[in-house]
């Protein structure tokens, strides 16, 4: 099993109120709906993250894993491995919510719930692959499973996203979020739902190249 906790959520809206008004042809001097527009842009960005499986702007997260390695005959936890990793490799951990920016630490907990930091000399951080990884170095090994507690034995704290500024987000993705926000603005009755099936086809097509294919979706589990 695994769990993912958001430690510091993103604080940057990809689309500003001014940009949205220009796109929606709303008078820039009319501020009566600024709060609504901001909330709909926020919702559209949240829906984009849910649909693509990516961290859009910078955020800090913690991944908890019961144990390592995961073997290919197990039902792997959602959001940890993707389709290219069908043969789960015990030498690395694939992190969810790309793009990976950095790894703060890898910790593990013994049966007494005492935490220890897994030395950075034992692994290197792969930020180049489409999904970031913590890769075990040659000659190193993960802590012995018998010494670890049964639940949430591993804690991996990391930073993910395209960056901390709206300009860091790819333009097609930012445009899709803007279009989705306008769709929510014009169809406010659906703005209370996070149902990704309500995303217009054009927006979904723009999201598609950025969508992370999760292993459990690929296998139908």
Q: Which residues contact 50 (CB under 8 A, 6 or more apart)?
A: 194, 196
Burial pattern 178-214, b for ≥16 Cβ within 10 A else e, equals bbbbbbbbeeeeebeeeeeeebeeebeebbeebebeb
pLDDT of residue 26: 96
pLDDT of residue 122: 96
Query: If you write DSSP's letter for every residue of the chain in order, what string do you get?
Result: -EEEEEEE-----SS-HHHHHHHHT--TT--TTHHHHHHHHHHHHHHHHHHH-S--S-EEEEEEES-SPPPTTS-PPTTTSBGGG-S--TTEEE-SSSPEEEEEEEEEEBTT--EEEPPGGGEEEE-SSSS-EEEEPTT--PPPGGGB-SSS-EEEEEEESS-SSGGGS-HHHHHHHHHHHHHHHH-GGGTT---GGGS-HHHHHHHGGG---BHHHHHT-
In 3D space, the residue among 195, 194, 171, 191 whose CA is nearest the CA of residue 182 turns out to be: 191
| pTM, entire model | 0.81
Domain ranges of the chain: 14-56+168-214, 59-160
Per-residue pLDDT tens digits for 102-132: 999 999 999 899 999 999 999 999 999 888 9
What is the rounded distance in angstroms from the CA atom of residue 105 to the CA atom of residue 108?
10
pLDDT of residue 185: 93
Average pLDDT over residues 154-169: 93
Average pLDDT over residues 132-151: 89
Q: Quick count: other Cβ atoms within 10 Å of Cβ 175?
A: 16
pLDDT at 13 over 60: yes
Read off the pLDDT band of 75 (50, 70, 90): very low
Looking at per-residue pLDDT, the higher value among 194 and 3 belongs to 3
Token digits of residue 167: 């300009």
pLDDT at 183 over 80: yes
Per-residue pLDDT tens digits for 24-48: 999 999 999 999 999 999 999 999 9
Length of the chain counted residue by residue: 221
C-alpha pair distances (Å), 67 with each of 28, 39, 108, 141, 189? 54, 39, 9, 13, 44
Q: Quick count: other Cβ atoms within 10 Å of Cβ 5?
A: 11
What is the rounded distance in angstroms from the CA atom of residue 206 to the CA atom of residue 27?
27
pLDDT at 72 over 50: no
């Amino acid at each position: 099993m695994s769990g993912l906790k958001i430690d510091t959520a993103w604080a940057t809206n990809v689309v500003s109120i001014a940009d949205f008004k220009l796109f929606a042809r709303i008078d820039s001097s009319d501020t009566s709906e600024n709060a609504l527009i901001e909330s709909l842009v926020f919702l559209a960005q949240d829906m984009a993250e849910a649909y693509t499986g990516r961290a859009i702007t910078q955020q800090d997260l913690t991944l908890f894993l019961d144990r390592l390695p995961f073997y290919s005959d197990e039902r792997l936890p959602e959001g940890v491995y993707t389709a290219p990793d069908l043969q789960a490799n015990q030498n690395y951990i694939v992190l969810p919510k790309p793009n990976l920016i950095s790894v703060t630490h890898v910790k593990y907990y013994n049966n007494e719930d005492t935490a220890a930091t897994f030395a950075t000399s034992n692994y290197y951080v792969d930020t180049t692959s489409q999904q970031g990884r913590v890769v075990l170095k040659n000659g190193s090994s993960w802590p012995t499973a018998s010494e670890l507690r049964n639940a949430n034995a591993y804690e991996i704290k990391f930073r993910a996203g395209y960056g901390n500024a709206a300009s860091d987000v790819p333009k097609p993705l930012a445009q899709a979020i803007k279009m989705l926000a306008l769709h929510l603005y014009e169809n406010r009755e659906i703005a209370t739902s996070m149902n990704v099936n309500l995303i217009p086809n054009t927006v979904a097509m723009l999201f598609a190249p950025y969508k992370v294919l999760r292993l459990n979706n690929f296998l139908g589990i």
